[in-house]
């Protein structure tokens, strides 16, 4: 069924990217991107700096032309359309409100220009949605950063675009306000039923807000799925390390049953449930999340349902309130990270303590990556710079640019 894009404007539209490639002179930002975002969904594009997130949004908005491929919105091919012809609105990180206009005039501006009836009634409605109608007569500089952000959002949704693109829209806010705005954005999206495509560096933000998260790396989607699915069953080392932390091991498959594979890690067998292992033969990389691992002060009795490694030695203990992180050096296996909830006062093991580690074989996972590639790329990826510091850097850069000019 093909319908004009405008017909979807009330409930959001499907977005399809088909075989998209984007080459800049001397640099391929997007290799080959295929993506379908169902109507009415909250979709997050998550990835490190420079992986191609903004480029993807700019392509969808029509601010950039793809080198190859097509873009469809609500079934209609918009690849050749100008930005203003597309049923799309974008909220950029810099809110760009008109400083001389009141809040209500800012929100109604686009409606007036397009001669849409009752601009001020519609603008008030949008402001009520972001709970700012009581400040409608103020000027932007009389609002806080978070309030200005919400005005920018009201201005974007007042047009009822089928698709709303959000590029790090919460980057300039402090952590608490950011968390609060995440919940508000989510409820606004549910209320208005638009399709949201949200770009972020912040894995927690992506996981709490989105129905579907696509993890992007070097211009490609590494894995796409519901947040829990990505977290519990990462397919690649990149996803396993970008979305939270992982303990990864590489070894050869030594045995396979109908239920599990056994991987030989320097003579130590580690079992992974078969449906959770992407590769079943040869060299494989397997892993387990730190919170799935239990720490034992005495060697536990053998349990066929659990992997057991050790004894190892605690080499670092760091307390973080709700949990304690232990680094445990296990001979032959490597250094493992364990998160233990603080059920009692203080850590259960000190630096130097001898411990055993165990986890349910149903909690491990086996990656799709060829271990040769994983190790070539170095399995430990540096922690991504957090959104706030990037926003701060951008602001500093802007300020120095303005000062120079």
Ligand X SMILES: Nc1ncnc2c1ncn2[C@@H]1O[C@H](COP(=O)(O)OP(=O)(O)OP(=O)(O)O)[C@@H](O)[C@H]1O
Which residues form the interface with ligand X (CB under 6 A)?
24, 27, 29, 47, 49-55, 201
CB of 170 to Mg ion, least distance (A): 13
Select 92 or 109, whichever has its Cβ closest to ligand X: 92
CB of 54 to Mg ion, least distance (A): 3
State the Cα–Cα distance between residues 220 and 31, nearest whole angstrom: 6
State the Cα–Cα distance between residues 139 and 207, nearest whole angstrom: 34
Select 51 or 361, whichever has its Cβ closest to ligand X: 51
Q: Which does residue 29 bind out of ligand X, Mg ion, none, counting CB within 5 to 8 angstroms by kind?
A: ligand X
State the Cα–Cα distance between residues 230 and 248, nearest whole angstrom: 16
CB of 55 to ligand X, least distance (A): 3
Select 296 or 394, whichever has its Cβ closest to Mg ion: 394
For residue 43, give both structure tokens: 């979709």
CB of 124 to Mg ion, least distance (A): 33
Footprint on this chain of Mg ion (rule: CB under 5 A): 54
Q: Which does residue 49 bind out of ligand X, Mg ion, none, counting CB within 5 to 8 angstroms by kind?
A: ligand X
Select 54 or 285, whichever has its Cβ closest to Mg ion: 54
CB of 23 to Mg ion, least distance (A): 18
Indicate the burial class of 27 (C-beta count within 10 angstroms; 0-12, 13-18, 19 or more): exposed
Cβ-count burial 183-203 (b if 16+ within 10 Å, e if not): ebbbebbeebebbbbbbbbbb
Give the Å distances, CA to CA, from 141 to 144, 150, 177, 181, 211.
Answer: 8, 14, 18, 20, 34
Q: Which does residue 338 bind out of ligand X, Mg ion, none, counting CB within 5 to 8 angstroms by kind?
A: none
Q: Answer whether the bond into residue 397 is a cis peptide, omega within 30°.
A: no
CB of 218 to ligand X, least distance (A): 9
Q: Which does residue 345 bind out of ligand X, Mg ion, none, counting CB within 5 to 8 angstroms by kind?
A: none
Select 252 or 393, whichever has its Cβ closest to ligand X: 393
Q: Is 327:334 a contact under the CB 8 Å cutoff?
A: no
Q: Which does residue 165 bind out of Mg ion, ligand X, none, counting CB within 5 to 8 angstroms by kind?
A: none
State the Cα–Cα distance between residues 107 and 133, nearest whole angstrom: 11
Q: Which does residue 271 bind out of ligand X, Mg ion, none, counting CB within 5 to 8 angstroms by kind?
A: none
State the Cα–Cα distance between residues 97 and 181, nearest whole angstrom: 18
For residue 181, give both structure tokens: 């705005």
Select 32 or 350, whichever has its Cβ closest to ligand X: 32
């Amino acid at each position: 069924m093909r319908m004009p894009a405008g017909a979807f404007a009330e409930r959001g539209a499907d977005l399809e990217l088909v075989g998209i490639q984007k080459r800049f002179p001397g640099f391929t930002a997007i290799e080959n991107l295929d993506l379908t975002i169902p109507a009415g969904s909250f979709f997050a594009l998550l990835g490190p700096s420079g992986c191609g997130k903004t480029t993807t949004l700019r392509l969808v908005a029509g601010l950039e032309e793809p080198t190859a491929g097509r873009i469809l919105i609500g079934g209609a091919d918009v690849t050749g359309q100008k930005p203003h012809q597309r049923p799309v609105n974008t909220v950029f990180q810099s809110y760009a409100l008109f400083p001389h206009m009141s809040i209500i005039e800012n929100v109604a501006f686009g409606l007036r220009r397009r001669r849409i009836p009752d601009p001020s009634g519609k603008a008030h409605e949008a402001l009520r949605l972001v709970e700012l109608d009581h400040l409608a007569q103020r000027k932007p500089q009389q609002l806080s950063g978070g309030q200005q952000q919400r005005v920018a959002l009201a201005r974007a949704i007042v047009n009822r675009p089928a698709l709303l693109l959000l590029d790090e829209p919460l980057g300039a806010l402090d952590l608490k306000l950011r968390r609060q705005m995440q919940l508000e954005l989510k409820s606004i999206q549910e209320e208005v039923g638009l399709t949201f495509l949200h770009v972020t560096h912040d894995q927690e933000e992506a996981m709490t807000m989105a129905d579907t998260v696509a993890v992007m790396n070097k211009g490609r989607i590494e894995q796409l799925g519901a947040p829990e699915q990505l977290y519990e069953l990462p397919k690649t080392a990149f996803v396993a390390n970008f979305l939270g932390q992982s303990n990864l091991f590489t070894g050869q498959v030594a045995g396979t049953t109908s239920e599990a594979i056994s991987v030989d890690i320097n003579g130590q067998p580690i079992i992974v449930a078969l449906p959770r292992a992407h590769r079943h033969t040869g060299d494989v990389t397997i892993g387990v999340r730190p919170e799935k691992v239990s720490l034992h002060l005495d060697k536990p009795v053998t349990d066929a349902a659990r992997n057991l490694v050790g004894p190892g030695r605690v080499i670092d203990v760091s307390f973080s309130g709700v949990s304690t992180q232990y680094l445990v050096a296990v001979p032959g296996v490597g250094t493992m990270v364990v998160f233990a909830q603080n059920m009692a006062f203080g850590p259960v093991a000190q630096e130097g303590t001898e411990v055993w580690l165990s986890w349910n074989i149903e909690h491990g996972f086996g990656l799709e990556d060829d271990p040769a590639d994983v190790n070539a790329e170095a399995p430990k990826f540096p922690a991504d710079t957090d959104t706030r510091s990037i926003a701060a850097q951008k602001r500093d850069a802007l300020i120095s640019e303005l000062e120079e000019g």
